[in-house]
């Protein structure tokens, strides 16, 4: 049990026990002082209950705001990617037309560059891997093959799948082939 829970439990016990103490003081005399203490205890109980309810509402509101934020976090990036999706739709139409196949490769290259620049603006960076020393913190070794030269032993020979960093934090490790 945490310190906070213990202190809340003690406060509740004190508030529950307080009327009993006041009743015994009332039986001994001083009626107006006992009434004043009873009123003060009632006010403190009310204040405590209101603060607790307010805190519970604050927790619920904060949780809801976090959930909403997570749901909408990708909206900015997805909105920026919609023009790229439109370009792919246009490229697909061109690919289906046999007269324009020579322009298709050029169009796909332009769409790729547009997508790459949108992602780069959002902080995405591809990881350079070819010829680098294998680092298990950055790379995932898919397989090992005999190195063609002595210099390539323990180094990355081929990249199966690029790795990416988002704002200098790895979001996908590069899948690589390592020379042994």
Gyration radius of the chain's alpha carbons: 34
d(CA 164, CA 161): 10
Q: What residues does 144 pair with on adjacent strands?
A: 178
d(CA 51, CA 61): 15
The pLDDT value given to residue 24: 53
The pLDDT value given to residue 26: 47
Domain ranges of the chain: 3-72, 74-122, 127-180
The pLDDT value given to residue 12: 56
The pLDDT value given to residue 110: 87
* 3-state secondary structure labels for all residues of the chain: CCHHHHHHHHHHHHHHHHHHHHHHHHHCCCHHHHHHHHHHHHHHHHHHHHHHHHHHHHHHHHHHHHHHHHHHCCHHHHHHHHHHHHHHHHHHHHHHCHHHHHHHHHHHHHHHHHHHHHHHHCCEEECCCCCCECCCCCEEEEEEECCCCHHHCCEEEEEEECCEEECCEEEECEEEEEEC
The CATH code that applies to domain 127-180 is 2.30.22.10
Mean pLDDT per block of 10 residues along the chain (180 residues) reads 54 54 52 91 96 97 91 76 82 75 79 88 87 89 90 89 89 90
The pLDDT value given to residue 40: 95
């Amino acid at each position: 049990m945490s310190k906070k829970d213990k202190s809340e439990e003690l406060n509740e016990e004190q508030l529950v026990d307080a009327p009993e103490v006041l009743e015994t003081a009332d039986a001994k005399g001083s009626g107006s002082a006992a009434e004043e203490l009873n009123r003060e205890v009632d006010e403190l109980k009310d204040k405590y209950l209101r603060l607790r309810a307010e805190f519970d509402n604050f927790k619920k509101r904060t949780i809801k705001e976090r959930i909403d934020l997570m749901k909408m976090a990708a909206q900015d990036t997805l909105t920026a990617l919609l023009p790229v999706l439109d370009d792919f739709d246009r490229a697909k139409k061109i690919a289906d037309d046999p007269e324009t196949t020579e322009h298709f490769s050029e169009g796909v290259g332009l769409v790729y560059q547009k997508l790459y620049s949108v992602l780069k603006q959002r902080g995405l960076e591809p990881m350079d891997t070819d010829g680098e020393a294998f680092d298990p913190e950055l790379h995932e070794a898919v397989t090992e093959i005999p190195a063609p030269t002595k210099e390539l032993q323990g180094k990355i020979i081929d990249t199966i799948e690029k790795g990416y960093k988002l704002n200098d934090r790895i979001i996908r490790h590069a899948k690589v082939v390592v020379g042994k």
